[in-house]
Amino acid sequence: MIVNRITLLGQKDHGKSTVIGNLLISTGSVTAERVKEARKISEQIGKPFEPAFIMDSFSEEREQGLTIDTTRADIAYNGRIFEFIDVPGHLELMKNMMSGASSGDVAVVVISAKRGEGFTAQTRRHIFIASMFGMRALIVAVNKLDYMGYDERKFQNICEMVRDYLGRIGFDKPVEFVPISAYSSENLIKKSKKMPWYDGLPLMDTIGSFISKYGEAPKGKSVRILVQSIADGASDKVAFGMVYSGSIKVGEKLRVQPAGMTTAIKKIYLKGLSAKSAPAGTNVALELADISKVSRGSVLYGAADKPYSMNRFEAKVFAIKRLERETNGRIHMKINNNDVPIRALNVLRAISPVTGSEEKSASISPSNSGIIALQLKSRYPVENFEECAELGRFALYEGNEFLGIGTVR
């Protein structure tokens, strides 16, 4: 069964874990024992039943009332499986996006309507990072409306703030706003009678609708295969990888980058079985006529496809450490499982992920974004992120120190 991935964005304490906890209960996707354990823990710390404890499995999280690591939960609903991925901070979110686990899927941002909370800088940064990595649609779940008497005006005020922000950062993908009370399970599965002014779908039905419309990225026709490992096969060495786009067949010639050689497909294996062809989105094992220069991180192209190989390009980045002009060769780029040395890095503009404003700058401060120009020490197969996400995202390091993430423009 296909798993539909949903990335949860938003500030801690705004109710992401409570959303997942009550969805698990409402859909019967959690065992009675797990619910009983959460009730017991709530009693031990002198609190009413807290559905979030179903998700927060670490004692430190329960005591502090926040999620400290990425958590995942599978929810079965209307014959489909939805995997909710909750990432509490910038670093966890970026790692998740870099792995491709959720980049490009539909995202749900949870924003509290409670006084003193609202549309925070942390939430704005989460949306900014997700939009950098190809988020195709966004659902805004305005939570804790029970604290505000289910007031439509409070809901609409937050909607206007989010719309204004999305316009400032140039996000032009589909957006839907859903009013909820996660703790009271209002408008999660069933339409809430306490919000008669809302005529849309409950949260889970909105998610299902968005996944059906926007959850599947279009696959290109040009062949792109990223080699993930080389191992010994039954009769020869085999290249294991993912067909990101296009399709391949036995006998077809492939170009190999960055080696700059050409080879041909002798055999294709899908799930250990011999096959004549393989479509986009499949994991494959390939026996090749010449595998001598094929290695982990190599990119395979169709013989008729244009292989990309660049040593200069611009990129949009989100910085964890301060970024500024660097020409001493200490910084390297991690892309497609390879470490690629950088000859020079120049900052062109700084972007605030909180306001969306841009300005010329010689540096990018931590937790901010910007546009940089990179010069690699040698040519490497990178592509525009919008055209091929897997070959257009990278991480920056200085030695073992993580500096930030980027997407090729």
Q: Are residues 109 and 233 in the same domain?
A: no
pLDDT of residue 68: 41
pLDDT of residue 201: 98
pTM confidence score: 0.86
What domain range includes position 256? 224-302
pLDDT of residue 48: 82
Between CA 216 and CA 208 the distance in angstroms is 12
Domain finish residue from 272, 302, 332: 302
Q: Are residues 206 and 235 in the same domain?
A: no
- Which CATH number do you get for residue 77? 3.40.50.300
Q: Are residues 282 and 330 in the same domain?
A: no
pLDDT of residue 67: 41
Between CA 248 and CA 268 the distance in angstroms is 9
Residue 35 lies in a domain: yes
Q: Are residues 154 and 210 in the same domain?
A: yes
Domain finish residue from 251, 267, 302: 302
User: Bridge-partner residues for 349, per DSSP?
Assistant: 360, 371
User: What strands lie across the sheet with 80-86, from one edge to the other?
Assistant: 71-77, 80-86, 3-9, 107-112, 138-143, 175-179
Q: Are residues 169 and 96 in the same domain?
A: yes
Domain finish residue from 250, 272, 302: 302
Domain count, the chain: 3
Residue 219 lies in a domain: no
pLDDT of residue 103: 54
- Which CATH number do you get for residue 324? 2.40.30.10
Q: Are residues 158 and 38 in the same domain?
A: yes
Q: Are residues 181 and 34 in the same domain?
A: yes
What is the bridge-based pairing of β-strands 273-275 and 261-270?
antiparallel
Q: Are residues 75 and 16 in the same domain?
A: yes
Q: Which two tokens stand for residue 315?
A: 């990129």
Between CA 28 and CA 312 the distance in angstroms is 52
Q: Are residues 250 and 379 in the same domain?
A: no
Residue 136 lies in a domain: yes
In 3D space, the residue among 220, 338, 333 whose CA is nearest the CA of residue 280 turns out to be: 220
Q: Are residues 89 and 205 in the same domain?
A: yes
Cβ 81 vs Cβ 3: under 8 Å: yes
- Using a 10 angstrom Cβ sphere, with 0-12 exposed, 13-18 middle and 19 or more buried, the burial of residue 388 is buried
Residue 10 lies in a domain: yes
pLDDT of residue 101: 56
Residue 16 lies in a domain: yes
Between CA 309 and CA 396 the distance in angstroms is 19
Between CA 249 and CA 275 the distance in angstroms is 8
**Could you tell me which residues come within 8 angstroms of residue 269 by beta carbon, excluding any fewer than 6 positions away?**
238, 275, 284, 285, 286, 287
pLDDT of residue 374: 97
pLDDT of residue 42: 75
Q: Are residues 76 and 150 in the same domain?
A: yes
Per-residue pLDDT of the chain in tens (409 residues, 90 and over written 9): 567 888 899 998 899 989 999 999 999 888 788 888 878 887 777 778 878 778 754 333 444 444 445 678 899 999 999 999 887 777 777 777 766 655 557 899 999 999 999 999 999 999 999 999 888 899 999 999 999 999 999 999 999 999 999 999 999 999 999 999 999 999 999 999 999 999 999 999 999 999 998 876 666 789 999 999 998 876 678 999 999 889 999 999 999 998 999 999 999 999 889 999 999 889 999 999 999 999 998 999 998 888 888 999 999 999 999 999 999 889 999 998 789 999 999 999 999 999 999 999 999 999 999 999 999 999 999 999 988 888 899 999 999 999 999 999 8
Between CA 210 and CA 220 the distance in angstroms is 22
pLDDT of residue 69: 56
Residue 91 lies in a domain: yes
Residue 86 lies in a domain: yes
**DSSP per-residue letters across 45-109:** TT-S--GGGGT--SHHHHHHTS--S-EEEEEEETTEEEEEEE--SHHHHHHHHHHTSSTTS-EEE
- The alpha-carbon radius of gyration of the chain (Å, integer) is 23
Cβ 369 vs Cβ 353: under 8 Å: yes
Place of tokens 């393989």: 278
Cβ 172 vs Cβ 140: under 8 Å: no
Q: How far is CA 329 from CA 229, 315, 405, in A?
A: 28, 18, 18
In 3D space, the residue among 189, 156, 6, 31 whose CA is nearest the CA of residue 84 turns out to be: 6
